[in-house]
Chain A
């Protein structure tokens, strides 16, 4: 089953789950659990914590499947983002709890978004549907590519990336920033080409 087939199947199942269809929920679990668990356990490095997050996510899906907005995002993206964000929240919260943030805290958001609302026309959705991400990733240099892969799959922070890759913190930060910018530009170009 390709990612697209799976997405279509998951969308169909979700609409049945929203109506309380237990069989659909079971099939939905079968179809998605090992994918979501892989995402969670790679970030948390902790089987019990990853299972906990998975349980919460599925309980939520059962209760809130109806509120999933099909038009706005792919269902697997939606699910994966929920799981990833909960894992990252947990990971980053642990850091705040246990470490005094110093060098890695200088990119905290300083600007206050609430006093400068943008119009919906400015929303940055242009590249959202592009699926040529692999080509765009391939085009990145080795260091930046590895940095964003480690951050994405394993939840490494900037300072962890720096120590893992034996590079200065500033280098790693600019690798990540530039890689994301390039990725976005590349995807937008690919999206416009359609």
Chain B
């Protein structure tokens, strides 16, 4: 490449930004990391971006790891695991929540992950369903080794007594398929006909419509779609 020097500086800066943010694709990422090991300019450009983006991480809600983690670390290092002083979670102390400003979407997803953490070996599929206002209304989680879909209501408008919320899969190039009714508050559980990986193989998103009490009689959504969410397949 025959770029002039200022262009190269700008290009390096853009690459470092993309690396620090995480959007740099796999090969490019590996390559830049390799160069950074020996090139101090590249390394410090990346570090500058990590510093710039650091406050994002500061404001994200913490999630407690299982107590096993500390025990395993102590075991590996030959330390006395009982030394750990339990001072209560630091994030519960005054001050941390000051200036807390993370988007509710992120918070809801973090919450969903915290809930699904109970099964430590699973890789849950998490779908956050939100309305037009982008505020999360429901969080659907599926353990990959189970056919249970758990829906937790985290927001959204109240449901009139003569109406029901119905959850739909929206398969690519095919008509919506009902997964069943979801509660208007609290937590509901639905059973999938197939394991989530199979059931959602061709399903990029889920939606919730407002139907007559008991659900759509026709097998297709009749009422307005209130919430939609992408099926994240990031595993």
Residues of A within 8 A of B (CB): 1-3, 5-6, 22-23, 25-27, 29-31, 33-35, 37-39, 41-43, 45-51, 54-55, 58-59, 62, 72-74, 76-77, 80-81, 84-85, 88-89, 91-93, 95-96, 101, 104-105, 107-114, 116-118, 120, 122-125, 127-131, 133-134, 137, 146, 148-149, 151-158, 160-161, 163-164, 176-177, 180, 183-184, 187
Residues of B within 8 A of A45 (CB): 113, 123-124, 126, 232, 234-235
Give the shortest distance, in Å, between B204 (CB) and chain A (any CB).
7
* A47 lies within 8 A of B64 (CB): no
Give the shortest distance, in Å, between B54 (CB) and chain A (any CB).
4
Q: Tell me which of B51, B61, B76, B204 contacts A129 (CB under 8 A).
A: B51
Q: Which residues in chain B, 31-47, are within 8 Å of chain A measured between CB atoms?
A: 31-33, 35, 38-42, 44-45, 47
Residues of B within 8 A of A (CB): 1, 3, 5, 8-9, 11-18, 20-33, 35, 38-42, 44-45, 47-48, 50-66, 68-70, 72-73, 76-77, 79-80, 83-87, 89-91, 93, 95-96, 98-99, 101, 103, 105-106, 109-110, 113, 116-117, 119-124, 126, 134, 204, 230, 232, 234-235
| Bound-state Cα–Cα, A84 to B234, Å | 16
Complex: chain B residue closest to A187, CB-CB: B52
* A131 lies within 8 A of B55 (CB): yes
* A164 lies within 8 A of B232 (CB): yes
* B56 lies within 8 A of A41 (CB): no
Q: Tell me which of A27, A38, A124, A146 contacts B44 (CB under 8 A).
A: A124
Q: Tell me which of B23, B68, B89, B119 contacts A151 (CB under 8 A).
A: B23
* A2 lies within 8 A of B85 (CB): no
* B17 lies within 8 A of A180 (CB): yes
Q: Tell me which of B77, B90, B116, B120 contacts A34 (CB under 8 A).
A: B90
Complex: chain A residue closest to B66, CB-CB: A51
| Bound-state Cα–Cα, A22 to B85, Å | 11
* B11 lies within 8 A of A124 (CB): no
* B48 lies within 8 A of A72 (CB): no
Known contacts A37-B65, A105-B25, A113-B39; can you find 18 more A-B pairs with CB under 8 A? A35-B57, A37-B62, A37-B64, A49-B123, A51-B66, A96-B25, A96-B26, A109-B11, A109-B32, A113-B35, A123-B45, A125-B48, A128-B47, A128-B52, A146-B105, A153-B60, A153-B106, A158-B25
CB-CB under 8 A for A47 and B120, given A108-B31, A153-B106: yes
Residues of A within 8 A of B57 (CB): 35, 39, 76-77, 80, 84, 152
CB-CB under 8 A for A46 and B69, given A34-B89, A88-B22: no
| Bound-state Cα–Cα, A106 to B173, Å | 29
